[in-house]
């Protein structure tokens, strides 16, 4: 038992535990502890860096300092973290007499459940943890399961209003409790506790997080316009007719999307020639119109696929500890590919390239990226990387890497993959995350606004939603026709503006296995809505230079284009409660309307002078204002003197 200082890091051994505390970046401290008594080098997908630090031993404790950060480790195992002399985190004992810091329970071999508990701070606010439609902006008081599901992307990272980021470096399933009586992080299956505390304000922490997890590449310029999508275009002819009508109306499409079941069989990764007879000619025609094509793929595969036997026999599929390897029932029992295996990534990319990319498809949509399995028994899933309850959160990370590596290999730089899930670091593979299959309701829209801001705090700047929601929308109702306008207004001020959804009725007149929904183009929602939606697309076009500029900033610095107001105003306590307005780049503040029948919105303007985009009037910051917006109006302000104001005044 005792402390040692090695390479300016603290090492501590006591009965049943080994601990190591080190500096791993600017104002950045890493804590590792292992009940086995042996610290493993499990960096996972993070890029830790050497940092200047000094460490020493005092009576009953060891101390490490790096930059503005300080950690004290006591001989009873307790840790306390400080920044510039201010206490940030203090471990909480689970027994009387400070007798238990960190809890472990063995699951056999060297796998353990583990948890770390910290004292609560009633003045602390938390943001991050990926996206989930909880309608919570400030996550203080929330508990979240750390597991990926449809419409729930678990990113084990939070930013605290006290001025630090906390990264739980565990790709296992688990739990995060940001409760009023404690803050606790739990791993279901791990070999050691591993977390990072990053000191600083929002911008500094975002930069350090990007250095640790990877910087997003530059978003392709073609991606920042309007995307047209629906569930689903059934034929090549139908798709081209929609693209042509947009062109005839003088409305530019950046991307048009072909959704699932365009294929011959789940796991074949090819167009069904009956309905898509000449993909290359189709893409050439789209490209002449200045439109990029995205095509959906799923990780599901069944025994009827031409690829199934080869992938099964070469361990390219997720295996199970017991029972069949069929993990999802969707038009028959489906297995799932295992992208944590580099051989799987190489094989699947080869098929995607020859059947899609070589035919002119520009980018891919990776649906079901969690992956979707029923039931969610992660402890029964075996990946090449390990058991899924230990490493399963990494699945979408390697899924996106599959395309990124393949595109790089053929010399492509304009890489973007739409994915239904992500993990820390997914952004470096050009991953555009969307919030999953969400309902077409105003309640859902309100929740998405807050989800997007929490996702922005996690180091993943490319994020979007299905404009209008995915399911339950009837395009013929007044309710939906109001909803689609308000969601469209929100979409203008999202990193990517993408219309998608399964609308209303189902057309089952054709011999296609999966039916399609009602129309979902901007002329589909009634005579009142069409000119409103058209003009919003025109506004987005005028904003594209501004959006592209801030996407470049996101790539270089880690600062997301869509972000909470406190990101730029961390010293204003009011801003930590603003979940229904946000900054879009440096100069735009947007306050979306997200309630049925709503035409008024109380808006807080932070310090400075702000110009209301509708009439050019100037408002002083540091105050609340009651603003109005009829159905064809929205509420946005521009920082006084900013050039982007001209995008709103042009017609």
Q: Is 259 helix (H, G, I), strand (E, B) or coil?
A: coil
- Predicted local confidence at residue 508, as pLDDT: 47
Question: What band does 514 get if pLDDT is binned at 50, 70 and 90?
Answer: confident
Integer Cα distance of 24 and 27 in angstroms: 8
- Predicted local confidence at residue 106, as pLDDT: 96
Catalytic residue set:
367, 370, 437
Quote the DSSP letter at residue 271. B
In terms of DSSP bridges, do strands 69-74 and 2-6 run parallel, antiparallel, or are they unpaired? unpaired
pLDDT digits (tens, 9 = 90+) for 106-156: 988 899 999 999 999 999 999 999 999 999 999 999 999 999 999 999 999
- Predicted local confidence at residue 470, as pLDDT: 96
- Predicted local confidence at residue 517, as pLDDT: 85
Can you point out the beta strands (E) in 221-338? 226-228, 255-258, 292-297, 300-301, 319-320, 328-329, 333-336
For residues 514-524, average pLDDT: 90
- Predicted local confidence at residue 1, as pLDDT: 64
Q: Which domains does the chain have, with CATH numbers?
A: 2-200 (2.60.40.1760), 562-649 (2.60.40.1180)
Integer Cα distance of 103 and 351 in angstroms: 46
Task: Say how many CA atoms lie within 13 Å of 150 toward its Cβ.
Answer: 11
- Predicted local confidence at residue 506, as pLDDT: 56
pLDDT digits (tens, 9 = 90+) for 156-173: 999 999 999 999 999 999
- What percent of the chain is predicted at pLDDT more than 90? 95
Asked whether 387 and 379 are in contact (CB, 8 A), the reply is yes
Quote the DSSP letter at residue 337. B
Smallest Cα–Cα separation from 333: which of 349, 315, 348, 320? Answer: 320
Q: How far is CA 120 from CA 152, 181, 613, in A?
A: 26, 6, 42
pLDDT digits (tens, 9 = 90+) for 571-616: 999 999 999 999 999 999 999 999 999 999 999 999 999 999 999 9
**Is the pLDDT reported for residue 193 higher than 80?**
yes
């Amino acid at each position: 038992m005792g402390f040692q200082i090695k390479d300016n890091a603290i090492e501590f051994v006591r009965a049943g535990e080994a601990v190591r505390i080190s500096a791993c970046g600017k104002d950045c401290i890493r804590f590792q502890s292992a009940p086995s008594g042996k610290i493993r080098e499990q960096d996972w997908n993070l890029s830790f860096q050497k940092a200047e630090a000094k460490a020493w031993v005092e009576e009953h404790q060891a101390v490490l300092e790096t930059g503005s950060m300080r950690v004290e480790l006591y001989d009873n195992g307790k840790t306390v973290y400080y920044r510039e002399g201010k206490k940030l985190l203090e471990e909480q004992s689970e027994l009387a007499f400070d007798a238990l810091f960190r809890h472990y329970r063995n699951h056999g071999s060297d796998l353990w459940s583990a948890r770390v508990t910290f004292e609560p701070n009633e003045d602390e606010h938390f943001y991050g943890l990926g996206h989930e439609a909880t309608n919570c902006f400030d996550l203080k008081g929330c508990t979240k399961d750390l597991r990926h599901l449809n419409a729930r992307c678990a990113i084990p990272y939070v930013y605290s209003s006290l001025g630090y980021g906390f990264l739980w470096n565990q790709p296992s399933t688990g739990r995060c409790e940001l409760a009023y009586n404690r803050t606790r992080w739990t791993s279901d299956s791990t070999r050691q506790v591993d977390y990072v505390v990053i000191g600083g304000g929002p911008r500094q922490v975002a930069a350090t997080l990007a250095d640790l997890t990877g910087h997003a590449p530059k978003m392709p310029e073609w991606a920042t316009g309007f995307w047209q999508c629906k569930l689903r275009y059934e034929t090549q002819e139908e798709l081209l007719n929609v693209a042509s009508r947009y062109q005839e109306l003088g409305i530019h499409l950046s991307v048009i999307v072909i959704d699932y079941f365009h294929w011959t069989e789940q796991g074949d990764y090819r167009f069904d020639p009956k309905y898509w007879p000449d993909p290359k000619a189709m893409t050439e025609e789209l490209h002449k119109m200045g439109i990029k094509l995205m095509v959906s793929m799923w990780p599901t595969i069944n025994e009827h696929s031409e690829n199934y036997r080869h992938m099964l026999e070469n361990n390219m599929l997720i295996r199970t500890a017991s029972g069949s390897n069929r993990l999802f029932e969707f038009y028959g029992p489906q297995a799932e590919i295992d992208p944590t295996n580099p051989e799987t990534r190489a094989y699947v990319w080869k098929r995607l390239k020859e059947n899609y990319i070589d035919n002119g498809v520009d980018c891919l949509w990776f649906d079901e990226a969690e992956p979707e399995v029923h039931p969610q028994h992660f402890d029964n899933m075996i990946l090449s990387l390990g058991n899924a309850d230990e490493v399963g959160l990494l699945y979408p990370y390697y899924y996106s890497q599959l395309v990124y590596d393949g595109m790089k290999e053929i010399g492509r730089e304009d890489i973007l993959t739409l994915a239904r899930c992500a993990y820390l670091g997914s952004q470096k593979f050009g991953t555009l995350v969307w919030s999953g299959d969400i309902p077409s309701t105003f309640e859902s829209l309100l929740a998405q606004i807050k989800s997007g801001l929490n996702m922005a705090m996690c180091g993943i700047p490319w994020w979007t939603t299905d404009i209008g929601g995915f399911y339950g929308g009837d395009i013929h109702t007044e309710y939906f026709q109001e909803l689609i306008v308000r969601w469209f207004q929100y979409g203008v001020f999202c990193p990517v503006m993408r219309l998608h959804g399964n609308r209303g009725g189902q057309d089952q007149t054709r011999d296609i296995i999966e039916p399609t929904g009602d129309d979902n183009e901007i002329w589909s929602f009634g005579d009142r809505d069409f000119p409103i939606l058209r003009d919003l697309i025109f506004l987005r076009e005028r904003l594209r230079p501004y959006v592209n500029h801030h996407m470049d900033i996101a790539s270089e610095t880690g600062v997301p284009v869509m972000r909470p107001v406190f990101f730029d105003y961390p010293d204003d306590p009011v801003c930590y409660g603003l979940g229904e307005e946000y900054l879009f780049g440096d100069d735009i503040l947007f306050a979306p309307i997200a309630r049925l029948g709503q035409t008024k919105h109380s808006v807080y303007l932070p310090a400075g002078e702000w110009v209301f985009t509708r009439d050019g009037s100037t408002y002083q910051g540091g105050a609340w204002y009651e603003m109005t917006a009829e159905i064809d109006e929205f509420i946005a302000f521009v920082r006084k003197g900013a050039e982007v104001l001209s995008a709103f005044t042009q017609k």
